[in-house]
Amino acid sequence: MESWSYTLYRSIWIALDLVFPPACGGCGKIGSRWCETCQSTLQILKGDLCEICGLPTGQSEVCNDCRSDRPHFRALRAWAVFEDPVQTALHKLKYRREIALGDALAFHMADFVRDLKWPVEMVIPMPLGKHRLRERGYNQVGMIARPLAMALKLRYAPNELMRRKETRSQVGLTKRERKENVSDAFQAGPGVREKVVLVMDDVSTTGSTLSSSAKALYESGAKDVYALTVARALPHHGLRRA
């Protein structure tokens, strides 16, 4: 059963949809923020995945990369493969201020996260640097993470993780460069102590940013850290796709 806060939150967006008919974030079709066609064509990332990083392995086991350089999070999972229609939707949410897509995507992600059966207690969105937050005016990850937390009846704690240094964009960087770029970039608050945390981002490629944030959460006393993204850029897509 949904919480009253989530029911109210969704009702507000649904009411706005009646007044201002929305266009689908994936294909642009008028009538809904995320249409049934886009949902049906979405490539859900499932099957035999690495137990830790969540990349396809062909068999259920830990991949070679995680064996040689294990990330700090316990496990990372992504809802879908980073390609259209979700790629277009995330681009609109991030760069075109179509913030209503946050609720639409969270609604469809909720069952996927429930099925993971992770014992998480709070949800924390990946924080933006101060410059990017001023430039954009909102955290696009938070627009998804907040309604998702409400749907799952979990505490939403955006202030328990912050960036303590500005980092350059990860676009175009190699795996090693990405890891170095976000090394010690985060600081967690005292509220994560003895909590099982779900840290969330929009897209993951190598998982370096999520791993660095998990490290900060553990250093502040988190009991365990799981990582979740809306989409995952698979290796054969190339790092520049993310």
Residue for token pair 């886009």:
38
Residues 99-122 pLDDT 10s: 999 999 999 999 999 999 999 999
Mean pLDDT, residues 130-158 taken together: 95
Rounded Cα gap, residues 131 and 137, in angstroms: 10
Rounded Cα–Cα distance for residues 225 and 4 (Å): 27
Of 38-52, 126-140, 158-172, give the lowest mean pLDDT range. Answer: 158-172
Q: pTM score, two decimals?
A: 0.91
Delineate the domains of the chain, giving CATH numbers in brackets. 4-241 (3.40.50.2020)
Contacts of 204 (CB under 8 A, 6+ apart): 76, 78, 210, 227, 229, 231, 232, 233, 242
pLDDT at 1: 64
**Radius of gyration for the chain, computed over Cα atoms and rounded to the nearest angstrom:** 17
Q: What is the pLDDT of residues 202-212, one digit of tens each?
A: 999 999 999 99
pLDDT at 52 over 50: yes
Using the predicted structure, report yes or no on whether residue 237 has a pLDDT greater than 80.
no
Q: pLDDT tier at 61 (50, 70, 90 boundaries)?
A: confident
